[in-house]
Amino acid sequence: MEFITVFQLDPNGIFIGETVADRSPLEEGVFLVPDGCVQEPPPAFVAGKLRAFVNGAWQYQDPPLLPDSIGEDPAPPALEQMRMQAIRSLNERCQAIADHLTASYPDFEKLTWEDQRREAVAWQADSAAPTPYIDGLAVLRGIDRVEYLTRTLAKITSFASAAQRLVGLRQKYEDQFRAATSPEEIAAINPVITLE
């Protein structure tokens, strides 16, 4: 199973929709449940009631009374709140996936990636291009310079492909959340974020 369904809550514990938690690429049997989500399904929809997850259990609540709006007819606050929570949850989920892509590398090494990328891409365009930083790394690592450059290019391509997919899917679902005109439309959006 690549993902499980989880249930999104707003900051007050009110159910706002479903999403998925992806399987962790690093830990067997672990799913990356986004912040603000729970795995226990909410009770059935009841007209005029909110479904809230409070102290580890679902309950029905009356919606808060809202003041009359003045001027233009904006989206109802509940709809806008649902929209923003859904987008926050989507962003957190995508960030968690991105973080797992680089989790096995220390921060100080990540700081060198741009230098390595620049040299490897220059070498790819012109095999006579100087690559002093990568040359030093290859010597210290005890592998051939060309092999190091080839591995670096493969990692760059793989990461760029994964990042492109992650960014594109995140933007797609954000567009859907922004275009939704009702809580039901937002709840029906089920982002499927995979890197394959």
Q: Is 82 a member of any domain? A: yes
Q: Is 140 a member of any domain? A: yes
Kind and range of the H or E element at 61?
strand 57-61
Q: Is 194 a member of any domain? A: no
What's the pLDDT at 103? Answer: 86
Q: Is 51 a member of any domain? A: yes
What's the pLDDT at 74? Answer: 56
What's the pLDDT at 20? Answer: 86
CB-based contact 14:51 (threshold 8 Å): yes
Q: Is 193 a member of any domain? A: no
Helices (H) and strands (E) in the chain, counts: 6, 6
Residues of the chain scoring pLDDT < 70: 1, 65-77
Instruction: Determine how many CB atoms are found less than 10 A away from the CB of residue 142.
Output: 6
Q: What is the dihedral of CA 52, 21, 96, 53, to 10 degrees?
A: 10
Tens-place pLDDT, residues 2-45:
788 899 998 888 888 888 888 888 888 888 888 889 999 999 88
Per DSSP, 74 falls in state: P
Q: Is 60 a member of any domain? A: yes
Q: Is 195 a member of any domain? A: no
pTM over 0.85: no
CA distance 83 to 38: 18
Q: Is 21 a member of any domain? A: yes
Range of the domain at 44: 3-188
Report the domain count for the chain. 1
What's the pLDDT at 111? Answer: 93
Kind and range of the H or E element at 12?
none
